[in-house]
Structure 1
């Protein structure tokens, strides 16, 4: 690649041709502030926080979109630049709700951080009239508070470009501009899929998940209730970020320890039910292949993806695996098998899940998710990784000083195959490990199906297994899912098995994971670093195939009989709704 030399604050810097000023400054070790910019997603230069001086230019230029050329002289920290940035912050603050102490984003708000750095305490001469908005609390998973919105449009861009949904946008003009839905509809009345990617990129407290932590504390303190908790694989790959640990730190042992100290009666691992999902899903796949069932079979672990399919590809809901997600399977097992084994009344069990995903909050309320009987939900409360961090902090638990502990048994044992469910391609790889051995009676030469690994939006591969050519595909991020499914529908692609995750990179990048500022998101491959944690745990696990899990063998022997049995279908499988894009949720 051709390089050019630019001068930044008097220092010569060699950068790739075509770089923006923002990227060139980063190479020089200089961080230029941004609010609206998200690399390859929202490059609109709207917030004007990244302005710099360029010799020869008549005005300040926006570094996020301004390309460098050979010999360019750039100044990132002159008085003119600093004054302009401060003035922009004051203008934003003039129309901003300043209840920072009670804001969920306080101390992690990108806008607040910049105000502190530039000494902005109030709006100064720009203080005046402000619009007031009612909160949109209609959706199951999140709240929108436009009183704290700075109109950066990151959420709009992610919803449209990354997820391919576009249910939110700018309403009104000028001073009356706000972010919302068409015709001022409630979010719940749109085809929003609850993925939470808009929350993940919001630089303020304008978007946040519905907080159920008080309900969890109340359940724990109720002597009549047995409160069980399960933690998803991706949570252990990111929770440490909330406590200052580097991105990509494995906190599995501390996760179990912190949950135990919060007072849960039993602390379980969703990896167990990920293995259970593979047993059912692999059986379903082989049955469809052998008996002419609907193909391609598409995974059903991601509730954001499932809801997207119901809205945008309702004719393909027959392709969805009928398996419940690992979260719901775990709850179903807890309130049937486990309750029976321990002599507990399912009505007195509170099943809490800790998930990287805001769509799980919607999923717990879906129909056909009551294996123990009507009125007894498989999972009662779903909280995000962020909410768990809030609970740990409120409880005064010193997370980084905790010893590593194990999950409780039964239902606490998981294989490496179950762990990698949290990364894109992980479900596919786990299924292939079991399907290969089931079909051939022998172990594959390598358990690492590397063709389906990595953070590319769409991956495909084919494998010769027992004389059959099994063609598979993996997609993460719903815009990529749309491309893949259109190719299938148009006859341009032919697969037998497809994995789709609603969030780019899979659950490790879920809408409920710890938020990272744009200064990190734009230059660090967060998905890859978190995913490496899960692949490391898989590699270190002596059991790397779901069908090897002794607890899985026991539950089939004692309770279900065999994968795909009538009892398994009743408890572990579900149904879907053809919503269509014009129907209400």
Structure 2
């Protein structure tokens, strides 16, 4: 893919997985502060723009429960036009940033008025993976026989944790890998956290993190979100952290992906994509966001610290009411896979 994009005319090719690593640093620190210092709990992830818009329309009274983090796409866009511009010694105004995404809603997110920094749009344009495939074919590029090429450094170098954001439960798993070690100052004994991996629906678990019994939930598919959100409104939801993805298998099943007409094709494709992502993570030498040397360098040289002044300005945002609250709905959703999971 990196090779194809260069042949299509791009001067730099970065990877949104780097933005995912930054998201973990910011979102993980935000969660720790909310848990230890007080803040609206449960905290919801904010990287899925379909979920964010759903919350703004259906549950505007709960927006303070969303993490203030921009999505990895928007974070990387902001860093390309600040940190990246400094490294390349170019003016941000001369950078046109295009994101390749599996999600049609990312095109809406890119255009949100608040998604800009210092007068520059974080991301200028979004193409879906399906549109990129069309473009590659139209240009006559023999994609299958292209050589593998590296992403540009440092904004293209990521950890295994950054690479699993695309599957349901991936954000949660990446956050626990880093949050556990930041809270306990101890090494996480097991990196493959099977209890947050799974399928469409709701999965819940309790994770022993030092002295804290961390209660988490993973929601895949927006139709399943009502149950938990109604409980939060009623003050009956005692989870600390909830991941929500709008699509049933996470981003790998996004609306911008290549079309899959038959149910059998979908099942096989989702299984293959999930296996590929987890295999990619397992093969990484660095599998935690906070141990990515390029992330460490980013904070040392530019951002300072997570939730600091610079990162707050570039990487965080606000959400706004877009509706009058949830409409009548008849959702009867059962919770799947209750689990207790202790790390010793």
Q: Report the TM-score, using the length of structure 2 for normalisation.
A: 0.92
Q: Distance in 2 between matches of 1:448 and 1:512?
A: 28
Who wins on radius of gyration, i.e. which is larger?
1
What CA deviation, in whole Å up to 9, does each residue of 1:345-374 have, x standing for no partner?
A: 111100000000000100011122111x22
* Residue pairs, 1:174-573, within 5 angstroms: 255-371=1-117, 373-374=118-119, 376-518=120-262, 520-521=264-265, 524-573=267-316
Please tell me whether the aligned partners of residues 60 and 325 of structure 2 are also in contact (alpha carbons under 8 angstroms): no
Is contact 1:419–1:537 with CA below 8 Å preserved after alignment?
yes
| Structure 1: 4+ residue segments shifted above 6 A | none
3-state DSSP class of the match of 1:300? Answer: coil
| Contact 2:58/2:325 (8 A) holds in 1 | no
Q: Using a 3 Å threshold, how does the CA distance of structure 1 residues 350 and 472 change in structure 2: closer, same or farther?
A: same
Q: What's the offset of the Cα at 1:456?
A: 3.4
The alpha-carbon deviation at position 457 of structure 1 amounts to: 1.3
Unpaired stretches in structure 1, ≥5 consecutive residues: 1-254
In 2, Cα distance between equivalents of 1:286 and 1:400: 44
Residues in 1 aligned to 2:52 and 2:271: alpha-carbon distance in whole angstroms:
24
User: Would you say the 8 A contact 1:385–1:512 is kept in 2?
Assistant: yes
Per-residue CA distance 1:323-356 (angstroms, 9 max, x = gap): 0000000010011111122211111100000000
- Shift in Å, 1:566: 1.1
Distance in 1 (alpha carbons) for counterparts of 2:10 and 2:90:
16
Give per-residue Cα distances to partners, 1:45-98, cap 9 Å, x unaligned: xxxxxxxxxxxxxxxxxxxxxxxxxxxxxxxxxxxxxxxxxxxxxxxxxxxxxx
Q: How many residues align?
A: 326
Unmatched 5+ stretches in structure 2: 327-344
Question: 2: CA distance between counterparts of 1:565 and 1:519?
Answer: 46
Aligned pair in 2 of structure 1 residues 454, 582: CA closer, same or farther (>3 Å)? closer
Aligned-pair RMSD on alpha carbons? 1.4
Cα separation, 1, equivalents of 2:271 and 2:225: 20
> Residue deviations 1:431-470, cap 9 Å, x none?
0000000011111210111110011311110111120110
Residue 377 of structure 1, CA deviation: 0.5
How far off is 1:410 after superposition? 1.7
- Cα distance in 2 for partners of 1:558, 1:293 equals 30
- The SS at the match of 1:422 is coil
Higher helix share: 2
Change (3 A) 1:364 1:292: same
Q: Distance in 1 between matches of 2:143 and 2:269?
A: 22
Partner of 2:172, secondary structure, is: helix
SS at match of 1:460: strand
CA contact (8 A) 1:455 1:527 kept: no
Provide the secondary structure at the position in 1 that maps to 2:323: coil
What displacement does 1:529 show? 2.4
**Which of structures 1 and 2 has the larger relative contact order (alpha carbons within 8 angstroms, sep 6+)?**
2
Which stretch shows the higher mean deviation, 512-521 or 429-438? 512-521
Give the Å deviation of 1:532. 1.3
Asked if 1 retains the 8 angstrom alpha-carbon contact of 2:42 and 2:237, the reply is no
2:320 aligned with 1:577: yes
Residues 83-122 of structure 1 deviation map (CA, whole Å, 9 limit, x = unaligned): xxxxxxxxxxxxxxxxxxxxxxxxxxxxxxxxxxxxxxxx
